[in-house]
Structure 1
Amino acid sequence: MNIYLVSSVLAFTVSCFLSLIIYLKGSQVKSRNATILIILCAGIWCLFPFFAWWGWPDNTLLFTRIVYLVAIFTAPAFLNFGLTILDTKRLPKERFLIRSSILISAFLFLPFFYSSFFIKGVKKVNSYFSIDGGPLYKLFIFYFGAVCIYCFYRLYFGIKNSNGYLRNQLKYVFIGFLLAFFSGLIHFLTSFGLPEIIPHDFLVVACMFILTYAILKYHLLDINIALTRAGVFIIVYTLVLGIPFGLVGWGKDWLIYFLGQNWYWAPMLLLLGLATCGPFTYIYLSRKAEERFLKEERHAHQLLKQASQGMVRIHDKKRLLELIVHITTKILGLSNAAVFLLDENSGNFKLAAVRFKSKYQYSEVIPQDDPLVQLLATQKEPLVYEELKLANQDLSSDTPNQLKEIDSQMRKLKAAVIIPAVSNARLLAFLVLSEKKSKKMYSPEDLSTLWALSYEAALAIDNAFLYEKEKLRLAEQSRRQALADMAPGASHQFNNRLATISATTDNLLDLVKNDSQGAYQDNLLSNILEGLEIIQKEVAKGEQITKAILQKAKVKLEFDKVDIVKVIQNALNLIRIRRTRESLGGAKEPEFVFNYPKDLPLLTLCEGTIQDVFENMFNNSYDAIVIKHKRNIAPLDYQGKISVDVTRNDNSVIIQVEDNGIGIQKDNLRKLFTDFFTTKATSEKGVVGGSGLGLGVMRSFIEEHGGTITAESEYTQWTRFTITLPLNFKPPK
């Protein structure tokens, strides 16, 4: 067996294998196109010994010149690759050098590739072959060396001036291609009569293995996928190369007998046909193998994508974030997951949701100036702990570097991956993911899917922020509007109280003045007591009005132990003040019925928001009664009725508010709690068309108290709302 031929075929095969891996990795591999180009150029150039042997002696020169069609452009390909991976290709000077090298290859060497001015012949020395070069071939050697040396010079300083992950990556590239350069140097020296002691193509094989190792080491490709593809590749190309070689080895005499001196065309055409079909066969079989191997993983990715698409419809931040940690933990099979959310007041990131809080003790707050937060805000890409560890390997212990602090923070968080959620170039949150229970690494497909999920999550979080602000704005606007609306009614009520007090006081003064002689002393005392009782009642009524208005004017949202009966009574008092007889549009004053048990415990509530809910509910009932009267649906003696029934069970208090107004149509009933949806018309006198909080916001207020709200109705007859509030509610911190 000729070891030089084995090394030639092996180098070409490995280069094809590595090129296919990088190509199938898509955009996950940096500098994909430039890397594939230089690897294929080097691999094809390595076929020189094989083609020289195959065509010996008649067609060796022809085959060698065909191989050198590619070899001529190997130096520009290497220069392009080196400057691309250094990210300096865009500089004007570097672009000029790349273009110049391509032009030199194309116009100085390519026109003469078939002439003896470039390659005069091929010499066979023992078991290897060497080039008998013409004058231009020596110039080509100098040109090739100069371009490669310049590229190595740039790579060397790239290593020196970089650190961490990039530095390690450049080291592997530098060492690998330095071996390939020495392989080319040995090849060139044989043309000057120096012996080739070892097959130079083995150095190219070593180069390819170093690059493959770097790809696997830096998680550019999952090892299981790599082995699957490698196995398929070996099987396919063993057949692609083995069948023609087998035909030559065992059927050469038979081919000469039938085809004569042109016998070699049969295996060459067969190789050409198999080589054409080989890539398609490889891609088809590898995809089929991966579909079976990655079926479960791809199903998980599909579930994550489906879940992410519905996130923007969730306006409750707490529910949204709990959903995110739940689905990622369950679908990907993680040990744990947590979300840190931006606190707009402090700028810090606070723990907002965690799947298993008892299992891991997370930091509650991460400051905005923490290196981890700064890195996520700057690079806005997933952060993988394994890659961070590799980046830290080159840092000396006395070298200050933020990467060490980030490494420490990720270990505290037990984070395998951190996914930032960015909206409008602002970091809103980040998702901390632990390792998988299966101990498998996160694949690029995992990271890509999680990155897409974080994009949808960022939009949903942004929407939740906006919704929360809008909800508070609407509540404040509604409160101010209600205070403005009740001003005339409150003035009227206070005038009535003051008029009664004034008349009673005048009457008592007249009695005292007229009884200066004490003739009616006994009657005077009883009249004074009666007058004082009237004044006391009117003062109490005025106090009720004042308390209700002051409560309505509260803006600060605080949870406290509250008597729900008093909250409902306050809301009723405000409605009585706000809805004057003129606002009823000719309808009779509604009858109020309020039933409640006397042993109700205090509830943990935000009194202002819950009072808003009941006030808006009673206001809606008023409007329903007015509309029913205006549309002449009700009988002539129709009087509106609003009833409130409060009951309790072991876990909660149930409040039912029912009116006998216009009711709600069936189609509208299912949309009733949609944000900003209204059933009110604004053209009917006495109807406050859509100026309240809206049932969507009212529901969110109830849910913030751990409660629920439902609606039932029969159009033209009645509407009933049922509110449930828990007895042992714990407000959020």
Structure 2
Amino acid sequence: MFFYYVAYSLFLLFLSLKLSYGKLKNQIKYVFLGTAIGFFCGATNYFLWFDIPIPPILNIFVSVYTIFVPYAILRHRLLDVDIALSKLITYIIFLFSFGTLIFLALSATYKHFSNDIFLIFATGFFLSLLIAAKPFFEIIEEYVRKNILKTKYAYHEVLRELSLNVAAYINLKELSNFIVLSFTENIEVKSCALLVSERLPGYLEGFKYLVSASKGLSRDSNKLGFSIFNPFMKTIFKELKPLIKEDLENIISSPATHLTGKKEIIKIIREMEKVDAEVCIPCITKNKVKGIICIGAKNSNEIFVSEDFELFDLVSKQIAVALENAFLNEINNAAIVKQIKTSGKLITVYQELKDAQAGLIKAERTASISQMKTALLHEINNPLQFILPNLQLINKKLKSGEEITKEFLEKAISLAEEGTIRIREIMRRLDALEDQEAKIIDYVDGQKMIDLSGGK
């Protein structure tokens, strides 16, 4: 049965090895090799136990297990030693505290109660301890992290703080600068760059990812752009998970990697090196990559461990939402600016129309005055030809003492009266123009005038 479980566990490890790649593949590979060699060589002990005359000469190779597994821990991030130490210390303190508490409680009560009462007390005491075990363990773990792993604790707290604070920024540039500064200064990495999709007119997403903010890069970030069709970006979009330079280098060094695959991976690494990235973390929301955080090596030159990536995953999701909000804010601002510009153009057009209308009104008024003047000159001058000459003739004869016959006087007065009536009729028609549309007729030399003749 023992050999069955060993063989089955190795079989499961082998299947996982075949299906995995990158960091996980390297981790499983060394654990598989170490475990297989350790159990196979250690199994030579069993021969003598069953009176089979084969000495355990391979026992010495059991130590290989203790080489492969630590190598996987240190080289391929199988285990964060600091975290393991933290857990170990936590469990030691927890077990010692609980063991001491149980021993003291049972020792103090055993001599004072009968067996039945003591059994009931012990059962209740154990149940109480089980209920209190988890919160008590968490208190100890928090204490150990704060006081033994101070640097790592502060580092994780910064990441958590970052995930909460990114939501406060709605301006894309300010948000980008905050993210980059948080990683470089608080998380203490040598460099950091945030890539976001370029924005085309109309705020459509383009075919490149540009550096929105950066710090500590060895080259000018303003000239950096990553086409969505290059291997680096295609891998990000396909995998939707962090790209780790070290893992890519391990894949290249593996004899099992095909030459074509190696060339593609080399291209990816070169793209990552443009932003001095050891790790590239996609910020994903709704299955869309809103940005990519490219992180350089830690200032301490420590490797990134699994717990780091768990926290990066948490932060990247928060950053993705914040980037989405910032993009929407930019679109809204652009729409507002466009509306303002459009409104400004409308105001300008309205003013131009208003000015044109005023000009038309003025021109129409001038034309109307001209037409009215022409009409009055024409219509009133004609009856005046009857009135004025006859009155002047009568006046002349009176002054000269010339005899004025009754017939002459009646005719002159009749003509003057006719002209006066004609003028009165013209004035009546002028008054009636308010209630009816004026008729415009041709006069002479292209001039127009209002028809005051009444159709006569």
SS of residue matched to 2:193 = strand
- State the percentage of identical aligned residues: 21
Q: Which structure 2 residues correspond to residues 559-578 of structure 1 after superposition, within 5 A?
A: none
Cα distance in 1 for partners of 2:138, 2:179 equals 35
List aligned pairs for 1:294-693, cutoff 5 A: 294-343=149-198, 344-356=204-216, 359-362=218-221, 364-395=224-255, 399-401=259-261, 402-476=264-338, 494-507=356-369
> How far does the alpha carbon of each residue in 1:204-226 deviate from its partner, in whole angstroms, 9 at most, with x for none?
44324422322322113234555
CA distance in 1, matches of 2:28, 2:155: 35
Q: In structure 2, what is the equivalent of residue 172 of structure 1?
A: 30
Match for 1:176: what amino acid? G
Matched letter for residue 424 of structure 1: K
1:603-640: per-residue Cα shift (whole Å, max 9, x none)? Answer: xxxxxxxxxxxxxxxxxxxxxxxxxxxxxxxxxxxxxx
Q: Hey, which of these two has a bigger chunk of helix by percent?
A: 2
- Measure, in 2, the Cα distance between the counterparts of 1:380 and 1:425: 8
Partner amino acid, structure 1, of 2:208: N
1:113-167 CA-partner distances (Å, limit 9, x unpaired): xxxxxxxxxxxxxxxxxxxxxxxxxxxxxxxxxxxxxxxxxx6xx3xx8765555
Secondary structure class of the residue paired with 1:360? coil
Q: Does structure 1 residue 222 correspond to structure 2 residue 80?
A: yes
C-alpha separation in 1, matches of 2:315 and 2:151: 18
How many Å separate the matches in 1 of 2:266 and 2:323? 30
C-alpha distance in 1 between matches for 2:6 and 2:285: 39
Q: Secondary structure at 1:499's aligned position in 2? A: helix
Residue 86 (structure 1) aligns with: 15
Seen in structure 2, the aligned counterparts of structure 1 residues 207 and 335 have a Cα distance that, compared at 3 Å, is closer
Q: Deviations over 1:555-577 (max 9, x none)?
A: xxxxxxxxxxxxxxxxxxxxxxx
SS at match of 1:348: strand
Would you say the 8 A contact 2:44–2:56 is kept in 1? no
Count residues with an aligned counterpart.
331
- With over 3 angstroms needed to count, the CA separation of the structure-2 counterparts of 1:372 and 1:295, relative to structure 1, is same
- With over 3 angstroms needed to count, the CA separation of the structure-2 counterparts of 1:288 and 1:208, relative to structure 1, is farther
Q: Which residue identity is paired with 1:193?
A: D
Contiguous gaps of at least 5 residues in structure 1: 1-71, 88-154, 238-279, 517-733
Instruction: After superposition, give the CA deviation of every residue in 1:439-492 in whole Å (9 maximum; x if it has no partner).
Output: 222333333223222111100111112222233334545666788899988766
Larger radius of gyration: 2
* Correspondence for 1:210: 68
Please tell me the residue identity of whatever aligns with 2:252.
N
Decide whether the 8 Å contact of 2:277 with 2:295 is kept in 1.
Answer: yes
CA distance in structure 2 between the aligned counterparts of 1:81 and 1:427, rounded to whole angstroms: 38
Q: Residues 477 and 395 from structure 1, CA distance in 2 versus in 1: closer, same or farther, beyond 3 angstroms? A: farther
CA offsets 1:383-418 (integer angstroms, 9 cap, x no match): 222232222211589811222221222223211221
Which residue matches 1:677? none
1:282-327 Cα shifts (integer Å, max 9, x gaps)? 9999876554342133223213322321322322111111111011
Alpha-carbon contact 1:182-1:203 (below 8 Å) kept: no
Is the CA contact (8 Å cut-off) linking 1:164 and 1:392 kept in structure 2? no
- Distance of aligned partners of 1:234 and 1:307 in 2 relative to their CA distance in 1, 3 Å threshold: closer
Q: 2:73 touches 2:80 (CA, 8 Å); kept in 1?
A: no
Q: In the aligned structure 1, how far is the partner of 2:57 from the partner of 2:93?
A: 26
Amino acid at match of 1:418: C
Q: Which runs of 5+ in 2 are unaligned?
A: 96-133, 199-203, 379-456
* Letter paired with 1:214: A
For residue 295 of structure 1, what is the amino acid of its counterpart? K
Secondary structure at the aligned position of 1:310 is classed as: helix
The TM-score normalised by the length of structure 2 is 0.60
**Residues in 1 aligned to 2:52 and 2:2: alpha-carbon distance in whole angstroms:** 25
Distance in 1 between the 2:359 and 2:76 partners? 83
Report if aligned partners of 2:30, 2:69 keep a CA contact under 8 Å in 1: yes
CA contact (8 A) 1:164 1:395 kept: no
Judge conservation of contact 2:44–2:55 (CA < 8 Å) in 1: no
Q: Deviations over 1:490-509 (max 9, x none)?
A: 76664333111222345467
Task: State how far apart, in whole Å, the 2-side matches of 1:398 and 1:380 are.
Answer: 23
CA deviations 1:655-692 (Å, max 9, x no partner) are: xxxxxxxxxxxxxxxxxxxxxxxxxxxxxxxxxxxxxx
Q: CA RMSD in A?
A: 4.3
Q: Which structure's relative contact order is higher, taking Cα pairs within 8 Å and 6+ residues apart? A: 2
* CA distance in 2 between partners of 1:296 and 1:382 (Å): 24
What secondary structure is seen at the aligned counterpart in 2 of 1:376? helix
Letter in 2 for 1:342: S
CA contact (8 A) 2:196 2:292 kept: yes
Please state whether the residue corresponding to 2:207 is helix, strand or coil: coil
Q: How does 1:73-152 map to 2 (within 5 A)?
A: 75-76=4-5, 78-80=7-9, 82-83=11-12, 86-87=15-16
Structure 1's 166 and 403: CA in aligned 2 closer, same or farther, altered over 3 A? Answer: farther
Check conservation: 1:339, 1:352, Cα contact below 8 A.
Answer: yes
